[in-house]
Amino acid sequence: MSSPVMLVTGGSRGIGAGIAVAASAAGYDVAITYETSQQAADDLVAAGHASIAICSDAADSASAATTFAAVLDRFGRVDALINNAGGGGAYGGIDIVGAEMLTRLWAVNITAPFLYAQAAVAHMSTDHGGRGGNIVNITSKAAVLGGAGEWVHYAASKGALETMTTGLAKEVATQGIRVNAVRPGLIVTDFDRDLAPGRTERMRTMIPMQRTGSAAEVAAAVIWLCSDAASYTTGAFLDVSGGR
């Protein structure tokens, strides 16, 4: 019997790479997408943490169908889709937000996950002859907290992704597909370090556990949600945020 297949968007670095590493250790054949980090993607393939890396711009509306087709051509199946690719836009208050930024932010953070989910449902749905599967959307604790003074724009896009999670989970609940989300909090990755120098240290004191989280801790939540241990869990939001 072939191994289950997981597709992780934005899987070359940070949380996405952590998910790829955990998934390969759990027995998945892993496909990842990347936009600019080819070397990091190639390194994951060389290390055996991913079987295939596909260059894909999440803002391109055609990328979801093209990528999904490439994974199916390679493996013949997709059992889990992890919508991880995302962008933050510029860091700051509402005055720094422009229409062009919002257009790309929405394309990457909500349109792309929606189209990837659409492709996944078409393949996985038992109503369409599929074997079922899992979709996990990586949102953010910012979707709940609002991102005031930092990135209301980013928080709003992740809030939209959470609404999609709730609605789609109900829509496909009888089709063998579970749809859940993981809400990372302050996780130390290049994304956070490059965003605003010093922010990590400043925010750490606001976390009840008084520490940052790791990509591996987010990945563990994703792997659980895709496992049989979570067979009665759909439409759920799992916070990995140190209590914040």
| Residues marked as catalytic | 154
How many Å apart are CA 128 and CA 227, to the nearest integer?
22
How many Å apart are CA 70 and CA 101, to the nearest integer?
29
CB 75 within 8 A of CB 29: yes
The CA-based angle 167-171-172, given to 5 degrees, is 125
CB atoms within 10 A of CB 244: 14
Question: 74: closest CA among 50, 46, 52, 47?
Answer: 52
Q: List Cβ<8 Å contacts ≥24 apart for 40-49.
A: 40/12, 40/13, 41/11, 41/12, 44/11, 44/12, 44/17, 44/20, 48/24, 49/17, 49/20, 49/21, 49/24
